Amino acid sequence: MNEIIQSRRVAALQMVSSTCVEENIQRAENLIQQAAQQQVDWVVLPEYWILMGKHEYDKIAIAEDFGHGKIQNLLSSWAKQYNITLFSGSLPLRSENPHRVWNTQLTFAPNGACISRYDKVHLFSFSGVGETYQESDTIMAGNQPVSLVHQHWKIAQGICYDLRFPEFFRMQTPFDVLILPAAFTQTTGKAHWHLLLRARAVENQAYVIAATQGGQHENGRTTFGHAMIIDPWGDVLSEHKKGEGMAIATIDLNRIASVRRHLPALDNRVF
């Protein structure tokens, strides 16, 4: 039997992605390299790290077929080169509809193999002063949660807007850690980002690793930032507020067990 790895050192990256794919690739690799130099085991990229296009339809032009393509090859090679588990944030994959893509998180093991695929289920819709978003115009909605067991950790997955739907993560409970790449707007992030992340950690008594976009983008969009890692008690272990950078912390199965032993809320559930 393989020895259980009790702790993992993890990094949640924060980017301010541009309209240039090649530029974003270089920025992402620089951050991954910096994280690897700090001896991390897992790295999480943010949503839309590969492109914050001038127009919502720009993502369709760079979409790849699942299992093939430059972006996926790069992610696989980075996982292998830096000996990390790499959570891809989100990238556009072609769907059966030529006008829409899947907004997908892939997980790459340290040997470069893709071990998980999750297609974003909940699509962001928001109308505010001077800003309107309707992801369903260009994105196909996934239809099921995807969790995986990796290095003896049970990992739940979500992307950005999924965070607002606690029942979605209850479908994956119990899990040890939630991986959540995002690109929260400044408006919604300022109001709800910390609150929702801490709530998901507390109610599931699990770690939350949230990688995000954080700054002013070329396309005029402003994202909230505050990449962070939260423990099962709701404590923020690490946070990077604005601009490019990362939050780094160690997560530990013993901490999860301790929280659940002292407050057996998951065992006390009725429904």
Give, for 28, the enclosing helix (H) or strand (E). helix 21-37
| Rounded Cα–Cα distance for residues 156 and 158 (Å) | 7
| Rounded Cα–Cα distance for residues 45 and 31 (Å) | 9
| Count, residues in the chain | 271
Give, for 233, the enclosing helix (H) or strand (E). none
Of 70, 96, 114, 120, which one is the catalytic site residue? 120
Helix (H, G, I), strand (E, B) or coil at 70: helix
Alpha helices in 58-118 (DSSP H): 58-61, 70-82
Is 120 assigned a catalytic role? yes
Is 20 assigned a catalytic role? no
Radius of gyration (C-alpha) of the chain in whole angstroms? 17
Asked if residues 62 and 74 have their Cβ atoms less than 8 Å apart, the reply is: no
For the chain, how many helices (H) and strands (E)? 6, 16
Q: Are strands 227-230 and 236-240 parallel, antiparallel or unpaired?
A: antiparallel
What are the CA-CA distances from residue 131 to residues 62, 95, 125, 204, 219 (Å)?
A: 24, 27, 11, 33, 12
Of 20, 22, 29, 47, which one is the catalytic site residue? 47
Asked if residues 60 and 92 have their Cβ atoms less than 8 Å apart, the reply is: yes
Of 59, 135, 160, 244, which one is the catalytic site residue? 160
Residue with tokens 């929260």: 184
Structure tokens at 132: 């309107």
Is 218 assigned a catalytic role? no
Closest by CA to 44, choosing from 78, 19, 21, is 78
What are the residue numbers of the active site? 47, 120, 160
